[in-house]
Chains A and B, each alone.
Chain A
Amino acid sequence: MTRTPGPHPFGWSSLELDRRRLLKGALLGAAALSSGGLLTACGSDDSGSGGGGGEGGGVVSIGSNASDATPKAAYQAMFDQFTSDNADYTTKVNTVDHNTFQEQINNYLQGKPDDVFTWFAGNRMNFFAQQGLAGDISDVWEDVDMSEAFKKASTGEDGKQYFIPVYNYPWAVFYRPSLFEEKGYTVPKTLDEYKALGTQMKADGLTPIGFADKDGWPAMGTFDILNMRINGFEFHQNLLAGEEAWDSKEVKEVFSTWAELLPLHEENALGRTWQEAAQNLVAKKSGTYLLGSFLGQQFEEADREDLDFFPFPEVNPEHGTDSIDAPIDGFMMSAEPENEAGAKALLRFLATPAAQDIYLKSDPNNVGTANGVSTEGYNALQKKAAELIGSTDNIAQFLDRDTRPDFASPVVIPALQQFLQDPKDIDGVTKSLQQQAKSIFVD
């Protein structure tokens, strides 16, 4: 009855036809797609193995987090040199906002990542290597001339290399020599001297120690250095690997030392960014400021002459000043690069002194990692930074690079901020840290 063809004589048949055609089309399409997939899979395999033979060329895609003007231009200068040295290669750079790049790294690497991408050394690199999201570049390392420490920082837990260091920078206490000269201050060697200096600065109407922690991570630098000075490098690394307790008396001592220093720190740190705190150092409102040497970016060219630093003073004579944070930035290769030969050629180039010279010329706040980087072009601060890193026995990467990413940002940042808000409740903070560490360090 409902099939009376009266009103719609062609309704059924045309629909039927459509459906058939559609199904057929879909099947054909699927077949085409899958065979296409197979074909391309074969193709990329071919180019991969062929690339190993030495022939190369084509486009190398690069994912970059260098969204600030200075490093962006510096990277571009390196890539340009690479393509002019190797005429058969071209590079395609995708620059993403620095923080966004880090937040999306997980999805990025599981999607269609670029052949080569910017990243950090240490556990932060190892994490993605372990998940199979980074490419093994041990063969590139056979041609790399860098110190053993850099090789170690580029090696994953499985003993293979996954990272090419390009530059690093020390965390130290920065100050303006002209201010020290004017007021007759001397560089402190021990914590007690530092405290005495701080008291003097306070009497002179200065903020002794600049401080900012609105973004959450800068306070990690203070925790790192105090822990390494008080308990040593070994303990610090074990703690960050989840092998020591956060509510131990060692960690509590770090917090209580910090609490004693807090009155010398710049107030209202939780509402201030490091850029603002750096400006206070520029304006000579703050006497000293513990930060990475990227602080120099906040200084005008002319003022940079009047910027110097000293390693954080000794606290425990047993450990002296034998450790610092000096994070390494560099590049990794994705797990399945489209142009593996090109990616490795580029990485090989980035590890050379020639490439790093180009970078450091454009961004003079860091020091190169390759043996043979020309230090002649370094400014006074770079020379000192290279010297400090070279003469320090133990180099840590930074809290959020040395520990699990799912612990650093979701747990440590709120805990440190809680401590800064209420420095008396050390037991509460350390207990909460330990409870959460126990729940996260399970696999």
Chain B
Amino acid sequence: MSVATPPAVPAKTASAAPRRRGSRSFSPRDRRILILMAGVPLLLHVGLVWVPSLLSVVLSFTRWNGIGGLGTIEPVGLENYSQITTIYTPFWPAVQNNLLWLAVFLLIASPLGLLLAVLLDKEIRGSRFYQSALYLPVVLSLALVGFIWQLIYSPDQGLINNLFSSDVDWFGDQSINIWAVLVAASWRHVGYIMVLYLAGLKGVDMAQREAAKMDGATEVQTFRHVVFPALRPINVVVLVVTVIESLRAFDLVYVINRGRNGLELLSVLITNNIIGEASRIGFGSAIAVMLLVISLGFIVVYLAQTFRKDAA
């Protein structure tokens, strides 16, 4: 390029001119800056995400208590995986709970968030108050949410049992505690989704709605055929957020009972095995790898669909 431009022309115009693709068009300084700008994040990403992930995978084939040098790591092959799936009793309940969590968030909490958003979008009286009230739980940390709901659910001193003089063991009974926790988790998730949709609804063209009205469409029809399709970008965001929130669910059950007795989640099992007095690093890593595979499953499906749409 510099050959083509007359030597007298200052660099300014050269860079202002439309560039051809390819690295040849970059000056050495540009290239260096580019390498720096792309390289540093890349290094950080590889160093902080890929290397630890791969090390986890490697560790999942070993037995190690986290103490002492690398020499104390003992390879055991697939033993961790076979033990987890056969004799480690909390594992399958945890998988089940994670999937249940996902189902409830996808089928109940997120649609509820959408419903509230649509209602509040109508500018009804006091909508600002409702917005703040419903969004408030999102601002609280999940640990705090767990604490608040413990005050409500506690069997002897809790709000519900005292108010209705009932005798339900909300957090202790394995058949109901996951539902009690899901109510608490949804309480927070609904507010989050609601805000996302509220932002999306503000972006829907008023003219389209009015046009639908003029054509005699009912409220429901307008929503189904005009508003909801216009919300598609938000739907994708909500879907991703919901899947992520369900798979990484952790704080709430950990605060309540360390994720035991019916509240098992994969994230908690990883923590319980890896953190603690005598860590089972290899065992915990194997569970982490399984969670990684499940997450990858969702991500791959999502990416495949996105690319297919782009290609079309």
Asked if B121 lies at the interface with its beta carbon under 8 angstroms from chain A, I say: no
Given contacts A106-B277, A409-B276, A421-B174, contact A432 B87 (CB under 8 A): yes
A12 to B27, CA, bound (A): 12
CB of B2 within 8 A of CB of A4, answer yes
Asked if A216 lies at the interface with its beta carbon under 8 angstroms from chain B, I say: yes
Measured CB to CB, the nearest residue on chain B to A285 is B156
A322 to B273, CA, bound (A): 35
Partner of A270, one of B3, B68, B261: B261
A contact residues around B10 at 8 Å (CB): 7
CB of B155 within 8 A of CB of A268, answer yes
Measured CB to CB, the nearest residue on chain B to A436 is B87
A47 to B171, CA, bound (A): 54
A contact residues around B79 at 8 Å (CB): 439
What's the A-B contact tally at a CB cutoff of 8 Å? 128
Measured CB to CB, the nearest residue on chain B to A439 is B83
Asked if B222 lies at the interface with its beta carbon under 8 angstroms from chain A, I say: no
A contact residues around B66 at 8 Å (CB): 106
A contact residues around B205 at 8 Å (CB): none
Chain A contact surface mostly: helix
Asked if A377 lies at the interface with its beta carbon under 8 angstroms from chain B, I say: no
Q: Which interface residue of B27, B67, B154, B157 has the most chain A CB atoms within 10 A?
A: B67
CB of B156 within 8 A of CB of A413, answer no
Asked if B260 lies at the interface with its beta carbon under 8 angstroms from chain A, I say: yes
A2 to B88, CA, bound (A): 63
Given contacts A1-B2, A102-B277, A406-B279, contact A414 B261 (CB under 8 A): yes
CB of B67 within 8 A of CB of A133, answer yes
Measured CB to CB, the nearest residue on chain B to A438 is B87
Asked if B28 lies at the interface with its beta carbon under 8 angstroms from chain A, I say: yes
CB of A414 within 8 A of CB of B260, answer yes
Distance of B170 from chain A, by nearest CB (Å): 6
Q: Which interface residue of B10, B65, B169, B261 has the most chain A CB atoms within 10 A?
A: B261
Instruction: Write out, one digit per residue, whether chain B residues 11-27 have a CB within 8 A of any chain A CB (1) or not (0).
Output: 10000000000000001
Given contacts A404-B278, A405-B276, A406-B280, contact A216 B172 (CB under 8 A): no
Partner of B173, one of A3, A102, A106, A270: A270
A194 to B137, CA, bound (A): 48
A contact residues around B273 at 8 Å (CB): 410
Asked if B209 lies at the interface with its beta carbon under 8 angstroms from chain A, I say: no
CB of A421 within 8 A of CB of B28, answer no
Instruction: Write out, one digit per residue, whether chain B residues 166-192 have a CB within 8 A of any chain A CB (1) or not (0).
Output: 010111111001000000000000000
B contact residues around A77 at 8 Å (CB): none
Choose, from A53-61, A246-254, A257-265, A271-279, the stretch at the interface: A271-279
Chain B contact surface mostly: loop
Distance of B151 from chain A, by nearest CB (Å): 12
B contact residues around A409 at 8 Å (CB): 272, 276-277
Measured CB to CB, the nearest residue on chain B to A130 is B67
A421 to B79, CA, bound (A): 29
Given contacts A276-B157, A414-B261, A432-B87, contact A271 B172 (CB under 8 A): yes
A417 to B93, CA, bound (A): 14
Asked if B309 lies at the interface with its beta carbon under 8 angstroms from chain A, I say: no
Measured CB to CB, the nearest residue on chain B to A4 is B2
Given contacts A102-B277, A110-B67, A276-B156, contact A215 B257 (CB under 8 A): yes
Given contacts A106-B279, A406-B279, A409-B276, contact A436 B88 (CB under 8 A): yes
Measured CB to CB, the nearest residue on chain B to A267 is B169
A contact residues around B29 at 8 Å (CB): 7-8, 11
Given contacts A1-B3, A439-B87, contact A214 B257 (CB under 8 A): yes
Instruction: Write out, one digit per residue, whether chain A residues 3-26 have a CB within 8 A of any chain B CB (1) or not (0).
Output: 110111001100100000000000
A contact residues around B261 at 8 Å (CB): 216, 270, 414, 417-418, 421
Asked if A269 lies at the interface with its beta carbon under 8 angstroms from chain B, I say: yes
A383 to B272, CA, bound (A): 39
A contact residues around B2 at 8 Å (CB): 1-2, 4
A442 to B157, CA, bound (A): 44
Asked if B89 lies at the interface with its beta carbon under 8 angstroms from chain A, I say: yes
Instruction: Write out, one digit per residue, whether chain A residues 172-203 have a CB within 8 A of any chain B CB (1) or not (0).
Output: 00000000000000000000000000000000
A175 to B95, CA, bound (A): 43
A contact residues around B28 at 8 Å (CB): 2-3, 11-12
Given contacts A4-B2, A432-B89, contact A270 B169 (CB under 8 A): yes
Distance of B208 from chain A, by nearest CB (Å): 51
Instruction: Write out, one digit per residue, whether chain A residues 204-217 have a CB within 8 A of any chain B CB (1) or not (0).
Output: 00000000001110
Distance of A19 from chain B, by nearest CB (Å): 11
Asked if B90 lies at the interface with its beta carbon under 8 angstroms from chain A, I say: yes
A216 to B275, CA, bound (A): 17
CB of B277 within 8 A of CB of A435, answer no
B contact residues around A15 at 8 Å (CB): 32
A131 to B157, CA, bound (A): 44
A215 to B167, CA, bound (A): 20
Measured CB to CB, the nearest residue on chain B to A102 is B277
Interfacial residues, chain B to chain A (CB-CB below 8 A):
2-3, 7, 10-11, 27-29, 32, 63, 65-68, 79, 83, 87-90, 153-157, 167, 169-174, 177, 257-258, 260-262, 272-273, 275-280
User: Given known contacts A215-B257, A271-B172, what 16 new A-B pairs fall within 8 Å (CB)?
Assistant: A2-B27, A2-B28, A6-B11, A7-B27, A12-B28, A105-B277, A106-B277, A214-B257, A268-B169, A268-B173, A270-B173, A270-B257, A272-B155, A406-B277, A418-B89, A439-B79
Question: What are 5 contact pairs spanning A and B, CB under 8 A?
Answer: A2-B27, A8-B29, A276-B156, A417-B260, A439-B87
Interfacial residues, chain A to chain B (CB-CB below 8 A):
1-4, 6-8, 11-12, 15, 102-106, 110, 124, 127, 131-133, 214-216, 267-272, 276, 279-280, 404-406, 409-410, 413-415, 417-418, 421, 432, 435-436, 439-440, 442
* Pairs of residues from A and B, 7 with the lowest C-beta to C-beta distance, nearest first: A271-B172, A270-B172, A268-B169, A7-B11, A405-B278, A405-B277, A406-B278
